[in-house]
Amino acid sequence: MTDRTMTEPLTTRRRFLTATAGAALVTVLPVADAQATPEMLASAIREVVGGNVVRTGKVRLEIPPLVENGNTVPLTVNVASPMSEADHVRSIHVFNEKNPQPNVGNFFLGVRSGRAQVSTRIRLADSQRITAIAKMSDGSFWSATADVVVTLAACTEDVI
């Protein structure tokens, strides 16, 4: 049994190193991509809030502080709001800091939602800060952040 010469060292920094389902002949390698810069993040946030003030509070981000795999990170955003006609959350916008681009998702709610709470699963390319901004019916913006540590898996998973 001959040993295969690995073209990549075991500790290569990798991002989304997974097999493309069905495309067994494609070997996907990590290549240093442009990361979201702080300017990109600021600009993405500005697109949502415009020139308005963003206050800290009301928003709660539930995300594991340490994740086993950055490909599938459970995330719940919860905003304290009566969700009444007079006072409700219009939308929740989630941003990241170090993925190739700053947006994660935008979620649009309303008075029929009952609760301002959304759960999903997201990808995190690296340990970083997640930001969630809620836009309220009165035009105000509220935010929260959470820091997440993303550990690498033990063995790199090339498509073989």
| Cα(130)–Cα(94) distance, integer angstroms | 7
| Residue 35 C-beta: closest distance to other proteins, Å | 10
The answer to whether residue 86 forms part of the interface with other proteins (CB under 8 A) is no
Our finding on whether 12 is near other proteins (CB under 8 A) is no
Q: Can residue 17 be called a binding residue for other proteins (CB under 8 A)? A: yes
Residue with tokens 């009165």: 138
State yes or no: residue 21 binds other proteins (CB under 8 A): yes
**Quick check: 22 binds other proteins (CB under 8 A)?**
yes
Closest CA to 77 of 44, 41, 116, 49: 116
- Binder to other proteins among 42, 69, 87, 129 (CB under 8 A)? 69
The answer to whether 64 contacts other proteins (rule: CB under 8 A) is yes
Task: Give the CA-trace dihedral at 5, 7, 8, 9, to 10 degrees.
Answer: 40
Which of 32, 53 has the CB closer to other proteins?
A: 32
Q: What is the β-pairing status of strands 141-150 and 128-136? A: antiparallel
**Interatomic CA distance for residues 102 and 90, integer angstroms:** 21
Query: What is the rounded distance in angstroms from the CA atom of residue 122 to the CA atom of residue 125?
Result: 10
Binds other proteins (CB under 8 A): choice among 6, 37, 82, 129: 6
Binding site for other proteins (CB under 8 A): 1-4, 6, 10-11, 15-22, 24, 26-31, 33, 64, 66-69, 71-74, 76, 96, 99-101, 103-110, 112-115, 117-124, 151-158, 160
